[in-house]
Amino acid sequence: MIWEELDRALILTELEAENFEDVMKGLGGVVVKEGYAKDSYVQALIDREKEYPTGLDASGVGIAIPHTDISHVNKSGTAIAKLTKPVTFIQMGTDDEEVQVQLVFMLAVKDPKSHLAKLQTIITMIQDPEFLKKLIEADDIDNIIEIIREKEGTL
Amino acid sequence: MKKKVIVACGGAVATSTIAANKVVELCKNNGIDVEICQCRISEIASNLPADLIVTTSNVRRDYGIPLIKGMPFISGMGVEKTEANILKVLNK
């Protein structure tokens, strides 16, 4: 289960960011600080986002799932940030279609094959706009974990 | 005849893993014998020939074979249409 393995240190309820680079530095910085990724992780996220954007319009709710090459990662983890105001990301699979992102799921992936089930759970969850809206309205970490636990129980 | 599908994304980490799994399931449910090659966008050319490319990133290059965007597998929107398009190519 995802919720059981969530590291509270990787959940930010109020991340202030002006642009996607601030998001990578803010949330990615925490991922590095907590030992999940190497120092090179943040810059790798920024470079990759420019080339292969990860913004998604999930039925009207803007989210992003930044991630980067496994060589920058020490161990797998999922970091979550709620942004204090929407930040412009480019939509995945496009060059220039913008999406206003409110919620970020940053994936530190060490071994994609063994994490397929978890990745799939995360992707399935973020396809539910009601779930995302609840997360955006959540005011603390306990609340966020509870919403994810509840959603996982329905899958 | 066995079909080969290349599933590619920027880093062959997250989104192509999801998309590859979806293509495998789709083929299994429709009796199509398929070989999946998951790779980075930059590695597509070296993995040709194939019957189809499914990608979750924007690809401008023409590889001379059908290319279908696998984005709906990630966003959840338009999955049925994407699956129908994939089957159309593989059932040829």
User: What's the CATH code of the domain at A35?
Assistant: 3.40.930.10
> Is B9 one of the catalytic residues?
yes
Most confident of A32-36, A58-62, B57-61: A32-36
State residue B12's pLDDT score.
67
* Cβ of residue B17 closer than 8 Å to a chain A Cβ: yes
Residue numbers of the domain that contains B39: 3-90
Domains held by chain A: number: 1
Q: Which residues of chain A neighbour B57 with C-beta distances below 8 Å?
A: 52, 92-93
Domain count across chain B: 1
**With bands split at pLDDT 50, 70 and 90, how would you rate the model's confidence at B2?**
very high
CB contact under 8 Å between A57 and B75, yes or no, is yes
Which residue segment(s) compose the domain that A47 sits in?
2-154
**B13 vs A51, A56, A109: nearest CB:** A109
Rg (CA), chain B: 12
Percent with pLDDT over 90 in chain A: 75
Phi, psi of A26 (to 5 degrees): -70, -55
Whole-model pTM above 0.90? no
Is the CB of residue B80 less than 8 Å away from at least one CB of chain A? no
Contacts of B82 (CB under 8 A, 6+ apart): B68, B69, B70, B72, B73
Model confidence at B88, pLDDT cuts 50, 70, 90, reads very high
Helices (H), chain A: 2-5, 20-23, 29-33, 41-51, 116-126, 129-137, 141-154
Cβ–Cβ contact A67 with B under 8 A: yes
* pLDDT tens for each residue of A63-95: 999 999 899 999 999 999 999 999 999 999 888
CA distances from A34 to A16, A39, A42, B40, B60 (A): 19, 11, 13, 28, 38
Q: Residue B19 sits in a domain of what CATH number?
A: 3.40.50.2300
